[in-house]
């Protein structure tokens, strides 16, 4: 049984070597220690790193932990990483992404029905980016492909899991917007 300091150093070593978030359960399996012990070591390490003003910190993301740049220095780091050009995601694609995030697993047809327009191009765009993926096939008629978000999606948003997203009800338009919409669609408006 390693002492806690050894364990923390081991975790540090795994963190520096990994581009993807490191999951405590996997570490527990790897070195055959109880997950609770590993989780404790992780927590202590996170506190150690995140309390001091360093160039990087340990982020809790996509169900695991990962060294990430302190965003304060991000702009300069971006210049350092040659060819850094953030992909611009259009409003239409973001809309599709939001629908998939909250309604997954969902088919292209269902997405298009919500948006009122064909969504194939936005779906392809998001697939290419790796933010969404095919999850399963709809068992019902038509065997539509069902889409959902990926781990990369969680990483890019800095979330630990999908349930970390605010409830959809928080985004319902306020009363003012609702009445605006109602007014516009009123068929009995006098000319």
Partner 1 sequence: MIVEQFLSEMKKLKIPDLDTLTEFALTAAILIELKSRSILPKKQSLEDLELLDSRDALISKMLRLKTFQNAAEYIELLIENNRYSFARPLIGDLGIQPLKAQIKQISPKSLVNALKGLINEPQEELFEISHVTPLPKISIEQAIEIIIERLKVVKTASFYELTSSLSSKIEVITFFLAILELYKQGILELDQIKAFADIKVTLLLPSYLTESTTS
d(CA 117, CA 139): 25
Question: What x/- string results for residues 13 through 52 when contact with partner 1 is judged by CB under 8 A?
Answer: -----xxx--------------------------------
Q: How would you class 152 by CB atoms within 10 Å of its CB: exposed for 0-12, middle for 13-18, buried for 19 or more?
A: middle
The beta strand positions in 22-168, using DSSP E, are 56-61, 64-69, 106-107, 132-137, 145-149
Number of residues in contact with partner 1 under rule CB under 8 A? 64
d(CA 43, CA 59): 11
- Residue (134 or 158) nearer to partner 1, CB: 158
- How far is CA 70 from its chain centroid? 18
Whether a cis peptide bond, with omega within 30° of 0, leads into 105 is yes
- Residue (5 or 70) nearer to partner 1, CB: 70
State which of residues 26, 114, 127, 144 lies at the interface with partner 1 (CB under 8 A): 114
**Least distance (Å) between residue 34 CB and partner 1:** 28
Q: Which of residues 150-189 bind partner 1 (CB under 8 A)?
A: 152, 155-159, 166, 168, 171-173, 177-178, 181-182, 184-189
Quick check: 135 and 127 in contact, CB under 8 A?
Answer: no
Residues found near partner 1 in the complex (CB under 8 A): 18-20, 59, 66-71, 73-75, 77-78, 80-87, 89-92, 94-95, 97-99, 101-102, 114-118, 122, 129-130, 152, 155-159, 166, 168, 171-173, 177-178, 181-182, 184-189, 191
């Amino acid at each position: 049984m390693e002492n806690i300091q050894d364990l923390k150093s081991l975790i540090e070593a795994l963190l520096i070597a990994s581009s993807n978030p490191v999951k405590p359960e996997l570490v527990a399996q790897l070195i055959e220690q109880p997950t609770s012990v590993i989780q404790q070591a992780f927590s202590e390490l996170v506190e150690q790193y995140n309390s001091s003003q360093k160039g990087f910190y340990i982020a809790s993301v996509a169900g695991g932990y990962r060294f990430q740049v302190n965003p304060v220095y991000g702009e300069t780091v971006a210049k350092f990483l040659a060819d850094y050009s953030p992909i611009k995601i259009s409003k239409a694609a973001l809309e599709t992404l939001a629908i998939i995030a909250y309604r997954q697993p969902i088919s292209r047809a269902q997405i298009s029905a919500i948006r009122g327009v064909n969504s194939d191009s936005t779906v392809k765009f998001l697939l290419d980016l790796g933010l969404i993926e095919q999850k399963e096939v709809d068992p019902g008629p038509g065997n539509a492909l069902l889409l959902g978000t990926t781990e990369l999606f969680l990483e890019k948003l800095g979330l630990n899991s999908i349930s970390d997203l605010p409830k959809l009800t928080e985004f319902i338009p306020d009363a003012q917007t609702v009445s605006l919409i109602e007014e516009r669609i009123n068929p009995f408006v006098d000319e």
